[in-house]
């Protein structure tokens, strides 16, 4: 039997992937320094709420959405103070009020397979943000999928052994991950590779301004050779200053 993404994997997610969210701390601290406390944060494709928990501990109010009911169930079960979670498609946001920050992390962006999805994502997020607020998101580039997304990984999490098969079709620009569980059931994940150049026109046409783009969690500058891109976009306010916008958010001072 074939299962949708994260309908089986959610039970293992925190044990193997959950701590990745700690890598975002330096960037979040830098961005929150420019925002009110507490800030209203929209965590898009929030998964099991690991990053939401960190932002809640920092004193902020978080709304998390995810397409996977199982991931949302897991996030809700943590009873994170100041956080609420709903099952929603990230390209069709239906949330109340305006937010100071939106985040879309750990290659969730790559799950948008069509250009129209990315267009709607930027338009909907822009609409839900306050002036002078931020959108932080990341994606895997073709470099990562070409050089590393191949072969089989044998995983053992809490005594449960399962396989992870990875492949990348360069012509279709499609990365496929298949998890095969001990009972023979499988879970498939499909992702599209992006580059900053691919999406520049889309976020600029929406109105976002690029504050910075990093090539990974060392927070060095993004280049065409980067495996990952971490973007910080700003929604300008009525008094937006182009000179000010060129003083980018930097991690390394």
Q: How many domains does the chain have?
A: 2
Q: Same domain for 166 and 240?
A: no
pLDDT digits (tens, 9 = 90+) for 71-111: 999 999 999 999 999 999 999 999 999 999 999 999 999 99
For residues 43 and 22, membership in a common domain is answered with: yes
For the domain that residue 109 is a member of, what is the CATH number? Answer: 3.40.50.150
The rounded mean pLDDT for the chain is 93
Kindly state whether residues 74 and 107 are assigned to the same domain: yes
Across 11-20, 133-142, 147-156, 186-195, least confident range: 11-20
Residues 57 and 36 in one domain: yes
Same domain as 158, residue 83: no
Cβ neighbours of 239 (radius 10 Å): 8
pLDDT digits over 204-245, tens only? Answer: 999 999 999 999 999 999 999 999 999 999 999 876 555 555
What does the pLDDT read at residue 3? 76
Q: What is residue 229's predicted lDDT score, i.e. its pLDDT?
A: 98
Which residue pairs from 33-40 have beta carbons closer than 8 angstroms and sit at least 24 positions apart in sequence? 34/134, 34/249, 35/100, 35/101, 35/133, 35/134, 36/100, 38/82, 39/99, 39/100, 39/101, 40/97, 40/98, 40/99, 40/100, 40/101
Kindly state whether residue 251 falls inside one of the protein's structural domains. Answer: no
Residue 124 structural domain? 2-140+194-245
Is residue 225 in a domain?
yes
Residues 47, 115: one domain?
yes
Mark whether 76 and 111 lie in a shared domain: yes
């Amino acid at each position: 039997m074939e299962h949708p993404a994260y309908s089986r994997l959610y039970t293992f997610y925190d044990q193997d992937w959950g701590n990745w969210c700690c890598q975002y701390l330096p960037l979040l601290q830098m961005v929150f320094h420019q925002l009110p406390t507490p800030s209203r944060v929209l965590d898009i494709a929030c998964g099991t709420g690991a990053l939401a928990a960190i932002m809640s501990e920092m004193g902020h109010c978080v709304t998390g959405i995810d397409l996977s009911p199982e991931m949302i169930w897991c996030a809700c079960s943590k009873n994170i103070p100041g956080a609420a979670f709903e099952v929603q498609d990230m390209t069709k946001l239906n949330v109340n009020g305006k937010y100071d920050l939106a985040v879309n992390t750990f290659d969730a962006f790559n799950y948008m397979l069509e250009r129209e999805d990315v267009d709607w994502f930027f338009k909907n997020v822009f609409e839900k943000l306050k002036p002078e607020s931020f959108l932080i998101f990341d994606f895997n580039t073709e470099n990562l999928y070409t050089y590393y997304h191949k072969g089989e990984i044998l995983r053992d999490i809490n005594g449960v052994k399962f396989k992870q098969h990875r492949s990348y079709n360069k012509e279709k620009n499609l990365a496929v991950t298949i998890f095969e569980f001990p009972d023979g059931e499988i879970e498939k994940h499909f992702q599209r590779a992006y580059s900053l150049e691919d999406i520049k026109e889309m976020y600029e046409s929406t109105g976002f301004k690029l504050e910075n783009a990093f090539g990974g969690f060392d927070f060095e500058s993004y280049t065409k050779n980067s495996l990952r891109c971490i973007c910080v976009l700003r929604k300008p306010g009525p008094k937006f200053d182009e000179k000010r916008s060129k003083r980018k958010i930097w991690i390394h001072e």
